[in-house]
Amino acid sequence: MNSNKYPLSRAIRNNSSLAFGCMGLGGTWDKSPLSAIDIQKAHTVVDAALDAGIRLFDHADIYTFGKAEQVFGEVLKARPDLRELISIQSKCAIRFEDDLGPQRYDCSPEWIINSVENSLSRLNIEQL
């Protein structure tokens, strides 16, 4: 198998050599709504990552039941100029069968499309 390899910096604009994993954003792993404290913490964490030179932010649709993406979207809403300075990636395919946690993978086109559309909505962006 022959595959072309090239640095991510050529494929992803505003890339950094490290990505910030956003799994810890959005508060608790339950269905409770975001709080003002969750939003303030997200601003603080994003600022710390930017100060460290990080420009790539990694999400997944399941992180804190979608609240990690939602709170990051709140940061972007408050600071629209930030979007042009960073890259955002997200992952999908893990399905929750109930509120207890992930139970199986679903890589069907329908699930992936739905997951990406929901991620874009929560992040308040048009593309990953």
Other C-beta atoms lying within 10 Å of the C-beta of residue 100 = 7
In a domain, 3, yes or no: no
What CATH number is given to the structural domain containing 21? 3.20.20.100
Predicted structure pTM score: 0.86
State the catalytic residues: 63
Specify the number of domains making up the chain: 1
Convert the pLDDT of each residue in 68-80 to its tens digit: 999 999 999 999 9
- Pair 93, 60: CB distance under 8 Å: no
pLDDT tens column, 37-52 = 999 999 999 999 999 9
Question: Does residue 5 lie within any of the structural domains?
Answer: no
In a domain, 107, yes or no: yes
CA 12 to chain centre: 15
Give the structural domain span for 70.
Answer: 14-123
